Copies of this chain bind each other. A is one copy, B any other.
Amino acid sequence: MARIEDIAKKLKVSKGTVSKALNGAPDVSETLRKAVLETAVELGYSRSMHKKGAKTLCLFIENMTYTEPGDFGYDIVTGFRKAAEPAGFVVRVVPLAEQLQAQISYDEYMLQNNYVAAFFLGLSLSDVWLDQLKASRTPAVLLDNRIPANPASCYVGVDNGEAMDLAIAHLKALGHRRVGYLSGYLGSYINQVRYNAFFQALQKNGLPDDPCLAGSAYYSSECLQKHLPALLEQKVTAILCSHDLLAHTVMIHCQERGLRVPEDISIIGFDDLPLCGYTVPPLTTLRQDRTQLGKSAFYALSSLLAEVPISTLLLHPKLMVRQSTGSAPPQP
């Protein structure tokens, strides 16, 4: 692991200058500061080994609301803080804007801001930084995203295979045989994982698994206008959705078409957002414990900082049975 001396030697400047540049002192030129940061990244200099006092963790948030209790991200952020702050860390929440990623490389951004490690909520497969994370030496934990073969990175989430098994086994016990799946955009890692897990669960439970039993779209309007009618034509008696908000809209659309939930069709969501208890009927869903996800993310991060190379940390999901699932309707 490189030291300040190594950066100084390479750039032929003094250690004091490197230190000032790393700490953003105003009397270091912008050109030199940039050269120091780039050399630091190139040599693998890591702030975590050198900084004294409280260390700062960066929590990146993209496309995800988190400021209000009830938002998907709120409990995760709170859980993460609850674990990190008593352990002596400072947590900064930073929006993961495309513009930021275009301006500066990930490693440089982390170094420049004295962040020792990052927790990513909602990185998408098209993000520019995703590629840079593959080679980064800065510890990073990603919710619902996986960077393979980088010992400084860890995937945290819920066990989606187990979740789909719980849902399909529940529907099978209620007599359902043809189960459909509606998913958000498959350009996200987590939607791909859930999509595959859905079909694996059908196979495991001995139910039909034709590819035509699933549909996905970036906009939920497309799911509703195109895929939902197609599933109903396929005579599905139950529909699982990749997210609660989608499940709620699907439930309303089914009801508008004159179908009773759950007498004619059963609906299952994913996440257990607070709204699930208040929909009509209340939504059966797969619960992710968001506070525990946040706490687990901090544990994974502190392990990576201690050079314990955790790759994956998954939580057990819980099937929350409410009133949107019931016995399969009698077959004609």
Residues on A close to B: CB < 8 A?
148-151, 158-159, 162, 165-166, 289, 292, 295-296, 299, 303, 308-316, 318
Name the residue on B nearest A313 (C-beta). Answer: B313
| Pair B159/A316 contact, Cβ less than 8 Å | no
Dominant secondary structure of chain A at its interface with chain B: mixed
Among candidates B149, B296, B308, residue contacting A310 with C-beta atoms closer than 8 Å: B296
Query: Whose C-beta in chain B lies nearest to the C-beta of A314?
Result: B312
Knowing A148-B165, A299-B299 are in contact, say whether A159-B314 is a contact too (CB < 8 A): no
How many copies the complex holds: the figure is: 2
| Interchain CA distance A308-B292 in the complex, whole Å | 6
Contacts of A315 in B (CB 8 A): 308-311
Are A318 and B159 touching (Cβ within 8 A)? no
Q: Is the CB of B311 within 8 A of A314?
A: yes
Query: B312 near A313 (CB under 8 angstroms)?
Result: yes
Q: A162-B311, A310-B313, A313-B313 are in contact. List 18 more A-B contacts (CB 8 A).
A: A148-B165, A149-B162, A149-B165, A149-B166, A150-B316, A158-B311, A159-B312, A292-B308, A292-B309, A296-B303, A299-B299, A308-B315, A309-B316, A310-B314, A310-B315, A311-B314, A311-B316, A312-B314
A289 neighbours in B (Cβ, 8 Å): 309
Name A159's closest neighbour in chain B (CB-CB): B311
In Å, the complex CA distance between A312 and B158 comes to 9
A162 vs B309: C-alpha distance when bound (angstroms): 13
Give Cα A304–Cα B214 distance, bound, in whole angstroms. Answer: 35
A312 to B312, CA, bound (A): 7
A313 to B296, CA, bound (A): 11
Question: Inside 8 A of A310's CB, which chain B residues have their CB?
Answer: 296, 313-316
- 6 nearest interchain CB pairs? A312-B314, A309-B316, A159-B311, A311-B316, A151-B316, A311-B314
Q: Return the contact of A295 from the options B166, B299, B308 (Cβ within 8 A).
A: B308
CA distance A219 to B296 in the complex (A): 41
Chain B contacts for A308, CB-based, 8 A: 292, 295-296, 315
A313 to B299, CA, bound (A): 11
Residues of B within 8 A of A166 (CB): 149
> Smallest Cβ distance from A319 to chain B, in angstroms?
9
In the complex, the chain B residue whose C-beta lies closest to that of A153 is B316
